[in-house]
Amino acid sequence: MIVPVTEKNLSDAARVHTLSWQDSHKAFCTPEFLAKHTIVHQTAYLKKEAEQGKQVFLLLEEEPIGVVSVWNNLIENLYVLPEKQRQGYGTKLLLFAMAKCSGTPSLWILENNRIAFDLYTAHGFQKTGKVHILSESISEVEMELRNSTGIDPAQG
């Protein structure tokens, strides 16, 4: 079940976001930088995201498993607990988020995130060519949903 994040479940969403974010960034972030991303920090981050108008959602099964946010046609913050990855939960969150988009779904991923890249390309996303350079060694790339012909499905 995927539910909106509220004050009642915000700490659960922040816990999932924290553990997942730290795991996905541990290969290229310093331990000190990872340590700054505590549940308290991520609670404030997710709260701010919601205050800015983003819809933040929590995937619940027996326990909180994943999070995702949507703002217009932009999908962000898609994270699944490390021990629950590769079990279909990322796909479930992605499909849910895609349905919530107001236009052609798009997202940004770290260019070194092969797991995310594989998930998104398997569901029809392609790189647009736009890049944000975050540091000397890290960039993020934009991806957008395209159909099999490469034509924007929103444009027919």
One-letter amino acid for residue 50 of the chain = A
Global pTM?
Answer: 0.88
More confident residue, 33 or 55: 55
Q: With bands split at pLDDT 50, 70 and 90, how would you rate the model's confidence at 135?
A: confident
Determine what percent of the chain is predicted with pLDDT higher than 90. 75
Quote the tokens at residue 144. 């957008």
The per-residue pLDDT for 124 is 95
Can you spell out the DSSP letters for 71-82? ETTEEEEEEE-G
* Tally of residues, the chain: 156
| Residues in a beta bridge with 145 | 125
Q: With bands split at pLDDT 50, 70 and 90, how would you rate the model's confidence at 156?
A: very low
Spatial neighbors of 4 by CB under 8 A, at least 6 apart, are: 55, 56, 57, 58
One-letter amino acid for residue 113 of the chain = N
Spatial neighbors of 94 by CB under 8 A, at least 6 apart, are: 68, 75, 78, 119, 120, 123
- Mean pLDDT over residues 91-108, rounded? 96
Quote the tokens at residue 56. 């933040």
Quote the tokens at residue 127. 């790189």
Quote the tokens at residue 82. 């490390």
- Pick from 90, 92, 79, 60: which is nearest to 19 by CA? 79
Round the average pLDDT of the chain to a whole number and report it. 90
The DSSP letter of residue 37 is: -
Three-state DSSP class for residue 24:
helix
- Pick from 122, 114, 126, 72: which is nearest to 94 by CA? 122
